[in-house]
């Protein structure tokens, strides 16, 4: 898992001092389309700003929850998406919106399901809001300016709770990424994603000026 310390950065570059808050400040180009740049703890406890560290054409956030059976069933799909799209310059981060999750739990979960990228803790749901995520699993695609270009399901495998196709017949996230890479237009949303409701997780109150337990590094 060492290669995942820095998340799924397309450059493969590892941060030199992963536990130093100074690694977190947002770069200016990541702030476009957002009101504020934010750093989040990753599964190692290091603060990360996925927008600041993005240096390719796109960033994918996938919202998951440790005990959500549907997002867990997507683990092999996520592995395949990361494996095929990271070499083409797309950054991947998983996002856990459960305020009760600890870094250790998230790290253990990544390992258990062999998830090949880093995960961010989002106890205050700032990433949830920015990505307009409703359920786990749900995906969001941002372009290099940090603008949200797609928010919706990964694919159409799940039709409802307990109703899954043998194989997905549409692949909305992959299609959106391909279109972004090729400069084509693409839909910004999909049919509602199926999964556990993020709204059931009351966000933790933001605590200004501290990075723990609710990390927010304001610029």
Partner 1 sequence: MITLCLATVAVVALPMVGSRAGGEAVTYAGDVAAILDRHCVLCHRPEQSAPFSLADFESAKTRARQIVKVTASGFMPPWLPEPGLGFAHERRLTTAELETLKRWAEEGALEGDPTLRPAPPVFALGWHLGEPDLVLTLDEPYTLAADGTDVFRNLVVKVPLTESRFVCAVELRPGNPKVVHHAVLFVDKNRRARVKDAADPEPGFGGMDLGEAQSPDGHFVGWTPGRVPLARCEERAWELPAGADLLLQLHLLPSGKPEPISPQIGLYFSKAPPTQRPFLLRIGSQTMEIPAGEASYVVEDHYTLPIDVDVLGIYPHAHYLARQMSGEALLPDGARQRLLTIRDWDFNWQDEYQYAQPIALPAGTQLSMRYVFDNSSGNPRNPTSPPVRVTAGARSTDEMADLWIQVLPKDAAQRPLLERDFLRRDYKQHLASLELAVREDPQSAIAHHDLGLALYLAGQDEPAIASLRRALELDPKMSSAHNNLGITLVRVGQVDEALRHFEAAVACDPQNANAHNSLGLVLRDRGELERAAASFQRAAELDPTHASAQRGLGGALVQLGRWSAAEKPLRRALELEPSWLDVEFDLGLALEMTHRAGEACAHFRRVLAQKKDPPSAERLAWILATHPDAARRDPADALRWARNLSSMATDESRAHALDILAAAQAASGRFPAAVASAEKALQLARDRQDATLVTAIEQRLAAYRANQPWSDARLAER
Q: Is the dihedral of CA 206, 210, 213, 214 positive or negative?
A: positive
Nearer to partner 1, 34 or 79 (CB): 79
| Contact predicate 203/123, CB 8 Å | yes
Using CB under 8 A, which of the segments 11-19, 51-59, 196-204, 211-219 binds partner 1? Answer: 196-204
Please tell me whether residue 160 binds partner 1 under the rule CB under 8 A: yes
Please tell me whether residue 113 binds partner 1 under the rule CB under 8 A: yes
Tally of CA atoms within 13 A in the half-sphere of 165 that contains its CB: 11
Centre a 10 Å sphere on the Cβ of residue 195 and count the other Cβ atoms it contains.
25
Please tell me whether residue 194 binds partner 1 under the rule CB under 8 A: no
Q: Output the smallest distance, CB 209 to partner 1, in A.
A: 27
Please give the sequence-ordered ranges of beta strands (E in DSSP) within 107-215, or none if there are none. 119-121, 135-136, 138-143, 148-152, 158-160, 163-164, 196-197
Q: Output the smallest distance, CB 72 to partner 1, in A.
A: 4
Using CB under 8 A, which of the segments 19-27, 139-147, 155-163, 209-217 binds partner 1? Answer: 155-163
Please tell me whether residue 67 binds partner 1 under the rule CB under 8 A: yes
């Amino acid at each position: 898992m060492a290669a995942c310390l820095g998340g799924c950065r397309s450059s493969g570059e590892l941060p030199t001092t992963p536990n130093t808050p100074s690694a977190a400040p947002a770069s200016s180009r990541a702030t476009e389309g957002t009101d504020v740049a934010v750093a989040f703890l990753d599964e190692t406890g290091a603060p990360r700003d996925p927008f600041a560290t993005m240096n390719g054409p796109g960033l994918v956030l996938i919202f998951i929850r440790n005990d959500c059976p549907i997002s867990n069933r997507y683990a092999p799909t996520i592995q395949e998406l990361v494996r095929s799209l990271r070499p083409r310059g797309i950054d991947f981060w998983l996002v856990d919106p459960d305020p009760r999750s600890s870094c250790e739990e998230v790290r253990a979960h990544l390992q258990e399901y062999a998830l090949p990228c880093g995960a961010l803790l989002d106890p205050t749901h700032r990433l949830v809001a920015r990505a307009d995520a409703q359920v786990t699993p749900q995906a969001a695609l941002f372009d290099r300016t940090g603008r949200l270009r797609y928010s919706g399901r990964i694919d159409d495998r799940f039709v409802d709770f307990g109703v899954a196709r043998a194989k997905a017949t549409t692949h909305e996230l992959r299609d959106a990424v391909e279109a972004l890479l090729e400069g084509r237009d693409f839909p910004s949303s999909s049919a509602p994603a199926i999964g556990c409701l993020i709204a059931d997780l009351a966000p933790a109150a933001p605590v200004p000026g501290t990075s723990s337990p609710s990390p927010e590094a304001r610029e």
